[in-house]
């Protein structure tokens, strides 16, 4: 098992507030890892730290190591664009550009100097299970797609850049159950090629798709392990209470 993405002794503060405390996590290649925990425990902060999204927060203080295999993600000689090409991100609210479906995918390819012909666009849309639904409407504004389609377009946009890792922050929380299941199916398909880390508040979703689960509580990793162990036989009482829905 090859560790693709990892954090060692990671601490993150915003001003006086320490949000992540001595985090040590490792995400394996071709696996799906779910990050769970109550609101405000630092899940998004952790996910965003991997593609340097705190760079623009002047009060963010980060210590420890974040690595993509052996690459130090905070090595100032590595351009952030390179990191974001190798580590894609999908957000809670689908955020297509105000452009056509075609341009949504072509744009990122162009700015990364990658081929952006129709064959490449088709491949990305197929990989995101969207091609059949949009192949006759590639010039249509992406904002006219349904929420679930927009989210799959954002996934297509990420995979078009041939990333190694895809980070997803509650990608289904704004979607209906049918769209959610479609995205879950897509995520399970994508893990054959990518390493996937997903934040979810949906405990059924974590159990359906994740190989490993990490439970965060108040900025610390409380427990982690194979998903079936975390949900069926958690070691910590706090984990048990959270997955049973006692707090959240």
Ligand X SMILES: Nc1ncnc2c1ncn2[C@@H]1O[C@H](COP(=O)(O)OP(=O)(O)O)[C@@H](O)[C@H]1O
Residues in contact with Mg ion by the rule CB under 5 A: 44
16 vs 77 by CB, closer to ligand X: 16
Q: How far is the CB of 39 from ligand X (least distance, A)?
A: 4
Q: How far is the CB of 158 from ligand X (least distance, A)?
A: 19
Among ligand X, Mg ion, none, partner that 14 touches (CB below 5 to 8 angstroms by kind)? ligand X
15 vs 115 by CB, closer to ligand X: 15
Q: How far is the CB of 43 from Mg ion (least distance, A)?
A: 5
Among ligand X, Mg ion, none, partner that 40 touches (CB below 5 to 8 angstroms by kind)? ligand X
Among Mg ion, ligand X, none, partner that 175 touches (CB below 5 to 8 angstroms by kind)? none
Q: Which residues pair with 63 in a beta bridge?
A: 11
Nearest-10 crossing angle of helices 101-111, 118-127: 110
Among Mg ion, ligand X, none, partner that 79 touches (CB below 5 to 8 angstroms by kind)? none
Question: By C-alpha distance, which of 224, 222, 161, 168 is closest to 195?
Answer: 168
Q: How far is the CB of 84 from ligand X (least distance, A)?
A: 18
Residues of this chain that bind ligand X (CB under 6 A): 14, 19, 37, 39-45, 57
Among Mg ion, ligand X, none, partner that 45 touches (CB below 5 to 8 angstroms by kind)? ligand X
Is the CB of residue 222 less than 8 Å from the CB of residue 23? no
44 vs 104 by CB, closer to Mg ion: 44
Distance CA 153, CA 21 (A): 35
Among ligand X, Mg ion, none, partner that 148 touches (CB below 5 to 8 angstroms by kind)? none
Among Mg ion, ligand X, none, partner that 88 touches (CB below 5 to 8 angstroms by kind)? none
95 vs 146 by CB, closer to ligand X: 95
Q: How far is the CB of 41 from ligand X (least distance, A)?
A: 4
Question: By C-alpha distance, which of 85, 89, 90, 107 is closest to 98?
Answer: 107
56 vs 178 by CB, closer to ligand X: 56
44 vs 49 by CB, closer to Mg ion: 44
Question: Roughly how many angstroms between the first and final C-alpha of the chain, as a whole number?
Answer: 32
Q: How far is the CB of 170 from Mg ion (least distance, A)?
A: 6
44 vs 150 by CB, closer to Mg ion: 44
């Amino acid at each position: 098992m090859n560790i693709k993405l990892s954090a060692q002794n990671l601490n993150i503060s915003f001003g006086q507030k320490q949000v992540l405390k001595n985090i040590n996590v490792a995400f394996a290649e071709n696996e799906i890892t779910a990050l769970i925990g109550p609101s405000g425990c630092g899940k998004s902060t952790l996910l965003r730290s991997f593609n340097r999204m705190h760079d623009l927060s002047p009060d963010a203080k980060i210590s420890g190591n974040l690595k993509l295999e052996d690459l130090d993600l905070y090595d100032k000689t590595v351009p952030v664009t390179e990191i974001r090409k190798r580590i894609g991100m999908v957000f809670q609210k689908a955020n297509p550009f105000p452009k056509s479906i075609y341009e949504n995918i072509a744009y990122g390819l162009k700015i990364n100097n990658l081929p952006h012909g129709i064959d490449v666009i088709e491949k990305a849309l197929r990989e995101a299970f969207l091609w059949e639904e949009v192949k006759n409407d590639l010039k249509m504004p992406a904002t006219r797609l349904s929420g679930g389609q927009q989210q799959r377009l954002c996934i297509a946009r990420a995979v078009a850049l041939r990333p190694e890792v895809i980070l997803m922050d509650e990608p289904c929380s704004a979607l209906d159950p049918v769209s959610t299941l479609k995205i879950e199916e897509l995520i399970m398909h994508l893990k054959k090629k990518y390493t996937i880390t997903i934040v979810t508040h949906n405990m059924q979703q974590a159990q359906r798709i994740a190989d490993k689960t990490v439970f965060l509580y108040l900025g610390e990793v409380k427990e982690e392990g194979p998903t079936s162990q975390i949900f069926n036989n958690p070691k910590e009482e706090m984990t048990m209470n959270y997955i049973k829905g006692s707090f959240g």
